Structures are given as C-alpha cells and as structure tokens.
Amino acid sequence: MKKIENEELQEKLDFLGLSLEKLPKFISDAEVPNFNISRINNDKDLKVYQFIPIDKIEILLTPALRSDPIKTKYEEAVPLKFFLNEDGDEEEMMFFKTFSKIVRTMSIQEIEKVEKIQESFEGKEPFKVKYNRDHLWQIYYSDVEDRYFMLVCTKEDTFSEFLYLLKAQIEFSKKKKKDAPKIYVPINYMTYSEEILQRSEIADLENYLWLFTKNWPLIFEVHDSRNEFSVQIVGETFVYRNIKSSYKVILKSTQEAIKFYKLLKALFILQTEIKGQYHFETRIDSNNGLSMYLSKVEITFDSLTQFIRNEYLLANYEIENQNKTIEEIEEKLVSLKKDVKEKEDEYLQKQKEISTYLECKKTFIGKVKYFFKLDKKEKRRKNMPNADIVPEAESIKIDTQPLNVYMEEKKFYTIEDLVTIYSLHEKSEKRCKDLRQDLKALELKLENLISKVRNANQYIEEIDKHKKSIFEFWKFVNKDEALGLNEPDVVEEVERKIEKTFDYNEDMEELGKKLDKQNRENLTKEECDSIYIASTNILDDINSLKHQEEKDYTKHLKEIKEEAKKEEMLFASEEFDIFGTITEDKTKISTLGNAKHREIKKNKFRLLEINKNTDKEQYISAVKEITENLDVAMDKAKFGEDINVYFASTNVLNNQKYTILHINPQNALNTLKDEEKINLYSIKLSKNAKAIALTNIIFYENTNKTLPIGMNMSDQIITDMSKLKLEPKKQKLFRINQEINDIEVKTKIVCVYEYEALEG
C-alpha cells in the first residue's frame, strides 16, 4: 500500500513538475512576509481585483479553514518548503504527510479547469469582474514589504487553485523568461485605494444607483494586465417593465469618475428633493454602460448645466401661469361668494314665510291672521324699492408669494436654485389646487341653494294660488294632504376605480391558480390535449393546415419520428407504442410547484399516435382533428384577466395565426438568444379576450386527481391572432446586454411595439 501511495504521489509530483530532491529556488528562499493584521480592513467583501505576476506570490500553508479569522490563519502559516521535507523532524514529517495527501488526492481535471479559466481572461477581466470560484484564491497583500502571498488552508477539501499556481510557478522558474505570466485574482481584505473616488463617494454611488436601477450595484477597483487602474461598477437595471439587463461602467480617471458621480448625485437630489416632478430612467448605452434619461432626453454631465437652466425657466414660467390662474379663480370666488350670499338671504326669507304659514295653520285664529296680515305685508314688501338688494360680499384676497428674487435672468443656475424654485412651484400649485376645490365647493353650494330657492318658491306659489278668497284659502289649509319641500338636486360625483397593475413576481402564482381552475372547468380532455400539442413544434403544421398553406408534411413527419426515437418513445423495430398514454405506474411521485402528485406528463408522440407506420395522410388527419378541437376551445374562451402578453420575433407580427405568447417579457426575449435585433410585441389583453393560458392541466393528465393547481410549467398563453383587433399604441427602443461567458457580452437592440387588443 505504501508503495502504491508513493507511486501515486510521484506521478502527481511529476505532473506538477516538482522534484523533492532539488527544490526550486523560489520555494527554498520563501519567507513569511510581514503583514500588519491590525491595519487590515474588516470588510470581507472582495473589492479589489488584480492581474498579478505569478512570481510575485509567496505560497504559505496554514492548518486552518478559510472561515477562520485572518489572525489565526496568518499566525500559524509557514512557507511551502517546510512541507516538502520527507526526512525532517517530527513536525516536518507531519507537514509532509499533509502535503502528500493534498497532492495524492488532487484532481488533474480540476487544475486544468482553473488553468482554462485563467487562460480565458487573456489579459482582460470578466464582464462582471467577479467570476466562479474566485473566493478560493486566498491571496493577500503586504504593503509593508510590497509582496503578495497566498494562504492555503490545509483543513479544506479544495486545493486546485493552489496546485495550479504552484505548477505555473515551477514551469516559469524552469523557462527563465523575463516576464512572468499573470493570474487574475481578488485581493482579500484590501479596501479601496481612493485614488479615483473616495470611499464615501463610492458609498454614495451605491445609494444613487439603487434608486435609479432598483438593484444594488457592486463596485470594484481593478488593475488590468497593463497595471492600469480603474473603478468598475457592475449591476442590473430594468430596461422595459420587468426585463432586466446587466451593465458595466468603467471609470479610468478621477475626472471621468467625478463627472459620473456628480451627474448621479445631481439627478438623485432632483428626484428625491423635488418629489413627483422627476423620474429619471436608466438605459443601456452602446458601451454596455448606463445612460440617464428623462423621458426621451438623455442627461449627461456636459448637458446638466443647460438641463438645470431649462428646468428652472420652465418652473418659472409655470409659476407665472399659476399666479394668473390664482387671480382668475380669485375673481370667480368673489363673484360666487356674492351670488351665494344673495341666494342664502333669499332662501332665509322664503324659509321664514313657510315657517310662519306652518305655524299659523295650526289654529283657527292663526289661519285668519295669516290670510289678512301676511297678504298686506306681501303687498308692502313688493312696493318697497330695492327690497332685494343684498350688501356686497366682502372681497377675497389671495396672497401670491412674490418670486421676483428667483425670476431674475442668470447665466448659470444651480441645483439649489432649481430645488428652491420648485419648492415655490409646489406651494403655488397647492394654493391653486386648494382654490379650485374652494371654487368647486362654492359652485356646488350655489347650485344647491338655487335648487332650494326654486323649491321654496314652488311651495309659496302653491299657497298663493289659494289666497284669492278666505273661503278657498280655508278649504285649502284644512285639506288632509301636507305640502312638503322637495329635496334639492344632488350632484353625484363619478367615483374612479383604481385598477391594480399586474406584477409578475407578486401576482403570477395567484393568477396561475385562477386560470388553471378556469381551464379545468371550461375545457374537455381532448381540448386540453390539443392545446398541449399546439404548444410544441406541431404549431407550424396546425397553422399551415388551417390556412391551407403548401408544406412538405412528409419531411416534417420524418423529423418527428426521428425525435421520437431519440427520446426512446419509439424503437425502430416497433410498429406502435405498447404503453399508449400510460407511461408510469401510479406509485410514481413527482413534485410540481412544491406540491407532490401522481400524475403523468403528456407526450405529443402518443397523443398524435406516432408509430413506425404512420404516413402523411394519417399525420395530417391527426393534426386536423387537433385544429378542430383548438378552434372549439378558442371560441368559448375568455381569458378573464386584463394583462399584457409578449411575443418576440425577428419578423413582422402575423395577426392571422395561432400564436404562443408569454406573460413574462424576459421569457419572450429568451426565445431568441442568438439574435442581435429583436422585435418585441406587447399586447394588452382584456378579460374577454379569446386566449387560453398553458396551465398545469394542459401539460399533465389528471387521472388520479392529484395535480397541483397553477401555472408551474410555463408562463405562456395561446391565442388566435385573427380574433384580436389590435390597435397600435406606441413604440420604444432599448438595448440589453446578454452575457455569453465571463468575458464576452453581446448587446441586443430590442424594438418594442405596444398594442391594445380591442373587443369585437
């Protein structure tokens, strides 16, 4: 056993190029660098990445775990040379056993993976700066000695990075080249150097970017292969509804960084201080970075001064208009208040007359007294000049705050000027809004008073009609029926219902359950099976047959049979599938949406009855039957939800065929991963639209009645586009970054066409 272990050890040492009898000079001369632990940054996040020449890195081994405190790891670390003496003292023998175990159990394939990762960088850092397994590089920097060292924690299970570095260092020492190859690694416990941006400014940038992108960014300091220094910001931002794109901003100089910082700071202040006025959007620019927009206008640092000036003058102009509106409302209020006062006085007078009548009619004396006394009073009142004149209402004065101080023309305006004038703009706007409400209240009050006066006049006129003689008046008063004042006309305000906006992440689960229940109630098994077939690559044949298009169905049938063979649904020697639609026994348990069930997933080959002898006519007949079932299902369909759905294509939207659309626009874009230019069609469906969701019941049989309710398999719907009357609304263009690997990024251009599907 010892011989086998020695042979295995020697084989692995040969792979590394390491000879224990003659150690390379860089191993023999290695010492533990002086490292001031008390000065290190306590933040464990990897913030600094560098391309480091491999000959500048000392390798130290420590009996610890990566999660142990740095003080423990460093204090117990010793150079690699102490682990390579197989004939040393007891401690060195223990070190050697540890090293030999590491080497014997190493995976050559894993080391080669590390090598390929480093080769893939080729002097260029990854798009996201970070990369897979980068945390395994336990490399530190001693500013005291200007040296790098790697701590290899011997209690861990993974040593590929350490052995790759050792192998590369040995190879370089043998070649004796002048320039050593470099590896791209993070430096542990190293904080920002603050050469380009201060730490506080970087913290501010994180807050600013979170506000605009709604995602927390990662900010790194990167030294590239030429040792050029830059600050790199990576993150994600929404580019259209819930579609996200990654971005990367590279700041190579202090001037460039300060411009970017000041731009975001200015827009942050405007959006947070002047609430409701500004909502800045982020877009992906041609360099995979971020651009800031207000509506369709791009805001840059160079255009910021002019932007502030224009916005200031616009606010100034709006304040002047608001002041004019306030003066106009003031005049209307004065006039209205006068009218209201007149109507109030008139109504009070009418009310007194009616009260007197009601009181007098209770007794015999009162009735007689009312007939003679009130009649004479009424005649005298009518003959009195200016009897109805009401004193003029007191004028209402509105205090409009003067803005002359801020209206003076200046060459440059600051953020402070803009915030100040919008503060005044907000007060003026609020005053204008309050006055409009006062005006509306007075108008309503006047309308009610007019109605009350009209009803009172009608009441009094009815009494006066019967005052021609005492006998007629007596007869009228003694009637059993009582007169009453009509209620004033009520002006009803239309209540506006606030419609809930669909949020895919929050509402999809609830929507899926609702649509799945709907499908189970409304669709037959044959219709569900046909919809499932339409969700596969058979859809093209369904559309071709439905619209009587010419197509080589024999060729496609052959492709389907080949596909069935690959999935082992049909052996070459079989004439038919002996299992039919039953693929598993009832004891098989599956999970869907975190719920267990015993249902069988549908299979298009079995539903179409594809076998070795299926010919073109049989296939066409099966597809026609599927189409008929689909038509029946679509005729009785009502989607039941107002929602936007999406379809991605490189061509113009075909509004005549059966089409599969997505509820999530990101999934629609993912169907065209290799295209650089994409048309994304957004269609707003109404609840009465002819569309069917691809819910769980579409994809599974439900023989055992255990299928979970929901849309766990897909976010798709199917609709007959010919049944939708599409009205174009607007277009939008944006870029989105697609990561091909750690290094490469492809920028796509997406043109969005928004439609509304009208009923009828």
Q: DSSP string of 732-744?
A: EEEEEEEESSSS-
Residues in the chain: 760
Tokens standing for 492?
């009803």
pLDDT value at residue 540: 93
Q: Evaluate if residue 209 carries a pLDDT over 70.
A: yes
β-pairing, 643-649 vs 677-685, is: antiparallel
Specify whether the CB–CB gap between 543 and 551 falls below 8 A. Answer: no
What is the per-residue pLDDT across 54-79, written as a single tens digit (0 to 9) for each? 999 999 999 999 989 999 999 999 99
Q: Evaluate if residue 4 carries a pLDDT over 70.
A: no
Closest CA to 473 of 375, 573, 615: 375
Name the band, by pLDDT with cuts 50, 70 and 90, for residue 6. confident
Name the band, by pLDDT with cuts 50, 70 and 90, for residue 612. confident
CA distance 698 to 633: 12
Q: Is the pTM value of this prediction over 0.85?
A: no
CA distance 304 to 113: 48
Q: DSSP string of 251-315?
A: E-SHHHHHHHHHHHHHHHHHHHHSTTT---EEEE-TTSSEEEEETTEEE-HHHHHHHHHHHHHHH
Out of 225-234, 250-259, 308-317, 544-553, which region has the weakest mean confidence (pLDDT)? 544-553
Widest CA span in the chain? 144
Specify whether the CB–CB gap between 653 and 647 falls below 8 A. Answer: yes
Q: Evaluate if residue 379 carries a pLDDT over 60.
A: no
What is the per-residue pLDDT across 658-674, written as a single tens digit (0 to 9) for each? 999 999 999 999 999 88
Closest CA to 759 of 642, 628, 633, 632: 642
Q: Evaluate if residue 369 carries a pLDDT over 80.
A: no
Q: Evaluate if residue 496 carries a pLDDT over 90.
A: no
What is the per-residue pLDDT across 334-343, written as a single tens digit (0 to 9) for each? 999 999 999 8
What does residue 198 show for φ and ψ, rounded to 5 degrees? -70, 155
Specify whether the CB–CB gap between 719 and 686 falls below 8 A. Answer: no
β-pairing, 643-649 vs 590-592, is: unpaired
Closest CA to 241 of 651, 690, 680, 650: 680
Name the band, by pLDDT with cuts 50, 70 and 90, for residue 398. very low
pLDDT value at residue 177: 77
pLDDT value at residue 373: 64
**Average pLDDT, integer, range 511-523:** 94
Strands lying side by side in the sheet with 297-299: 281-284, 290-294, 297-299
Q: Could you tell me the end-to-end alpha-carbon distance of the chain, in angstroms, rounded to an integer?
A: 84
C-alpha of 248 from chain center: 19
What is the per-residue pLDDT across 636-654, written as a single tens digit (0 to 9) for each? 999 988 999 999 999 999 8
pLDDT value at residue 378: 53
Q: Is 141 exposed, middle or buried (0-12, 13-18, 19+ CB in 10 A)?
A: buried
Domains in the chain, start-ordered, CATH in brackets? 2-187 (no CATH), 199-299 (no CATH), 308-477 (no CATH), 505-758 (3.90.176)
Determine how many CB atoms are found less than 10 A away from the CB of residue 84.
20
**Average pLDDT, integer, range 258-270:** 96
How much is the mean pLDDT over the chain?
A: 86
Bridge partner list, 677? 749
Name the band, by pLDDT with cuts 50, 70 and 90, for residue 43. low
What does residue 458 show for φ and ψ, rounded to 5 degrees? -60, -40
What is the per-residue pLDDT across 698-750, written as a single tens digit (0 to 9) for each? 999 998 899 999 999 999 999 999 988 999 999 999 999 988 877 788 899 99
| E strand or H helix at 79 | strand 78-79
Q: Evaluate if residue 226 carries a pLDDT over 80.
A: yes
User: What value does the CA radius of gyration of the chain take, rounded to a whole number of Å?
Assistant: 42
More confident residue, 500 or 19: 19
Question: Amino acid identity of 659?
Answer: T
